[in-house]
């Protein structure tokens, strides 16, 4: 059953992440926004040590704890805890949150689609002495929303028992940190058979240092500027046979592809959590600055008696809180291993809207103060939009939710 009481694990991790956000993020947030490409190593080193010492409170579900919970028939809380951590870290700075080691989309993909042996092998790398990043590379120049258009290929070389990968992946978040700055890996989506469409697509773990895998471009972005986004080129990049996540069989169905897509059911509500951290930061700062300017906000009045600003603030609170409930339901379902494709898509699409609307409204209400670089409000408005783009745009997540609600299959509603 869903409980609205915060567990000890949630409260403890919120305490840590709030301290980090207050002391390691907010004071340098503007600096890293204005110096895109600079890496916040102090934050990265600190978080690596802190998460390591907290064990189960790392940003990727702790395998031993999960096994213990399963054995004792206790529901895992890993994703609920992560959602709270991510919300708080993104309240501090969403770009910094994307620079958190030990987690990332790559390890989420291993967690969602890997075999128990693969989880053991690829997730234990995160627990080493040095920080490690992981990334996931799906998008190509002609394959964004439509993954079936992926043209990167993977061919098994039976003589060496290795997969040979070729293709070019763009917009890979944390790709530089995963492949160059640390000894991490990128999970690359490629096709075993271009004729087979989605049924042929699988994901492969490509470790840093793999010959033939190189970063060729770093994007200059609107927001989340402390996070790197890169192009990854694969030219006959070879990885061992067991680096394919899940089954190598090409089945007539899209079962294998769906396995890879499971990653998104887990990660979309976590993107929503990040979006809501930014939205909360903007809302709280708006209220603080209004108070500083001598504007009193009277809550609890009938709408007709409110000022337009008071009415706007009520709407912002309503959007924020309702979206958080939707998000928590989606992560709770991840922990309970319930099918949550619909809830996951709904939380992500709604959070993308909410953070965009709240941050824009904050700039609007505050006028020159909102627009000025003296405060972080304008930065949060720039940081917001990505939540409506990556891991399925708002339109794509609307399609997924609509299909689930109306009982249509992909080919009937697109
Ligand atoms: C900063 C950043 C970081 C990113 N990180 C990663 C990453 O780590 N890994 C990764 O693989 N990718 C990443 N991406 C890529 C991102 O996931 C894609 O940009 C996104 O999926 C959209 O794909 P596209 O850009 O090709 O747009 P398109 O698919 O070409 O879409 C263009 C527009 O058309 C709309 N559209 C498309 N199809 C439909 C439809 N059927 N119905 C209605 N509207 C539709 C879309 O919603 C969008 O508005 C990142 C992107 C950015 C900007």
Does the CB atom of residue 134 touch ligand 1 within 6 A? no
Give CA separation, 198 vs 253, 296, 305, in Å. 9, 56, 56
Does the CB atom of residue 173 touch ligand 1 within 6 A? yes
Q: Which residues are CB-neighbours of 276 under 8 A, at least 6 positions away?
A: 87, 90, 320, 323, 324, 327, 351, 354, 355
Q: Which of 137, 142, 168, 171 has the most ligand 1 atoms within 8 A of CB, as the residue to mutate?
A: 171
Residue 260 has pLDDT above 50, yes or no: yes
Burial class (CB in 10 A: 0-12, 13-18, 19+), 248: middle
SS3 263: helix
Cα atoms in the 13 Å half-sphere on the side-chain side of 269: 28
Lowest mean pLDDT among 55-59, 79-83, 246-250, 356-360: 55-59
Res 263: pLDDT: 82
Burial class (CB in 10 A: 0-12, 13-18, 19+), 171: buried
CA distance from start to end of the chain: 35
Does residue 131 or residue 414 have the better pLDDT?
A: 131
Q: Which two tokens stand for residue 44?
A: 């990265």
User: Per residue in 92-133, pLDDT tens?
Assistant: 999 999 999 977 889 988 988 899 999 999 999 998 999 999
Does the CB atom of residue 231 touch ligand 1 within 6 A? no
Q: How far is the CA of 120 from the centre of ligand 1 (A)?
A: 31
Res 78: pLDDT: 87
Residue 140 has pLDDT above 50, yes or no: yes
Question: What are the b/e assignments for 255-285, b being 16+ CB within 10 Å?
Answer: ebbebbbbbbbbbbbbbbbbbbbbbbbbbeb
Q: Rounded to an integer, what distance in angstroms lies between the CA atom of residue 81 and that of residue 75?
A: 13
Residue closest by Cα to atom 24 of ligand 1: 144
| Contact criterion met (CB below 8 Å) for 82 and 331 | yes
Helices (H), 21-103: 29-34, 41-54, 63-71, 78-97
| Contact criterion met (CB below 8 Å) for 195 and 154 | no
Residue 61 has pLDDT above 70, yes or no: no
Longest dimension (CA), the chain: 78
The CA-based angle 286-290-296, given to 5 degrees, is: 125
Give the predicted TM-score (pTM) of the model.
Answer: 0.93
Average pLDDT, stretch 160-181?
97
Residue closest by Cα to atom 44 of ligand 1: 395
Atom of ligand 1 nearest to the CA of 135: 8
What value does the mean pLDDT of the chain take?
91
Q: Rounded to an integer, what distance in angstroms lies between the CA atom of residue 351 and that of residue 357?
A: 10
57 pLDDT band (50/70/90 cuts)? very low
The pLDDT > 90 percentage for the chain reads 76
56 pLDDT band (50/70/90 cuts)? very low
Closest among 10, 386, 40 to 219, alpha carbons compared: 386
Does the CB atom of residue 395 touch ligand 1 within 6 A? yes
**Where would I find the beta strands (DSSP E) of 192-286?**
201-207, 213-218, 229-240, 244-245
Atom of ligand 1 nearest to the CA of 175: 8
246 pLDDT band (50/70/90 cuts)? confident
Residue identified by tokens 């699409």 is 349
52 pLDDT band (50/70/90 cuts)? confident
Which residues are catalytic, by number?
A: 391
Q: Which two tokens stand for residue 222?
A: 């609107």
User: Per residue in 213-245, pLDDT tens?
Assistant: 999 999 999 999 999 999 999 999 999 999 999
Residue 192 has pLDDT above 50, yes or no: yes
Question: What are the b/e assignments for 215-241, b being 16+ CB within 10 Å?
Answer: bebebebebbbbbbbbbbbbeebbbee
Residue 175 has pLDDT above 80, yes or no: yes
User: Per residue in 276-327, pLDDT tens?
Assistant: 999 999 999 999 999 999 999 998 899 999 999 999 999 999 999 999 999 9
Does the CB atom of residue 141 touch ligand 1 within 6 A? no
User: Per residue in 358-398, pLDDT tens?
Assistant: 999 999 999 999 999 999 999 999 999 999 999 999 999 99
1 pLDDT band (50/70/90 cuts)? low
Does the CB atom of residue 413 touch ligand 1 within 6 A? no
| Contact criterion met (CB below 8 Å) for 40 and 99 | yes
């Amino acid at each position: 059953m869903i409980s609205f009481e915060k567990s000890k694990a949630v409260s403890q991790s919120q305490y840590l992440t709030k301290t980090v956000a207050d002391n390691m993020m907010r004071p340098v947030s503007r600096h890293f926004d204005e110096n895109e490409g600079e890496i916040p190593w102090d934050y990265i080193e600190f978080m690596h040590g802190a998460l390591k010492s907290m064990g189960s409170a790392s940003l990727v579900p702790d395998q031993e704890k999960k096994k213990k919970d399963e054995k004792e028939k206790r529901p895992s809380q890993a994703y609920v805890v992560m959602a709270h951590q991510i919300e708080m870290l993104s309240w501090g700075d969403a770009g910094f949150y994307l620079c958190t080691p030990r987690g990332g989309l790559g390890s989420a993909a291993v967690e969602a689609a890997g075999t128990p042996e693969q989880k053991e092998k690829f997730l234990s790398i995160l627990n080493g002495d040095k920080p490690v990043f992981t990334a996931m590379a799906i998008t190509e120049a002609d394959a964004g929303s439509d993954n079936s258009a992926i043209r990167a290929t993977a061919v098994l070389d039976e003589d060496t028992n290795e997969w040979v990968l070729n293709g070019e992946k763009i917009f890979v978040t944390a790709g530089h940190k995963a492949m160059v700055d640390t000894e991490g890996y990128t999970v690359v989506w490629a096709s075993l058979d271009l004729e087979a469409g989605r049924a042929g697509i699988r994901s492969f773990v490509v470790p840093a240092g793999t010959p033939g895998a190189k970063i060729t471009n770093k994007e200059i972005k609107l927001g989340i500027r402390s996070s790197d986004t890169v192009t990854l080129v694969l030219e006959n990049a070879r990885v061992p046979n067991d680096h394919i996540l899940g089954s190598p069989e090409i089945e007539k169905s899209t079962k294998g592809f769906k396995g890879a897509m499971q990653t998104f059911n887990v990660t979309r509500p976590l993107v929503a959590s990040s979006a809501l951290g930014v939205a909360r930061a903007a809302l709280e700062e708006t209220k603080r600055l209004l108070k500083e300017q001598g504007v009193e906000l009277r809550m609890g009045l009938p709408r007709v008696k409110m000022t337009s600003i008071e009415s706007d603030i009520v709407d912002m609170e309503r959007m924020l809180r309702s979206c958080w409930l939707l998000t928590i339901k989606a992560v709770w379902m991840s922990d309970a291993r319930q099918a949550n494709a619909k809830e996951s898509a709904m939380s992500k699409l709604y959070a993308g809207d909410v953070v965009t609307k709240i941050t824009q409204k904050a700039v609007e209400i505050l006028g020159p103060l909102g627009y000025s670089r003296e405060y972080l409000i304008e930065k949060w408005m720039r940081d917001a939009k990505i939540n409506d783009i990556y891991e399925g745009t708002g339109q794509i997540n609307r399609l997924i939710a609509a299909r689930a609600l109306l009982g249509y299959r992909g080919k009937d509603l697109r």
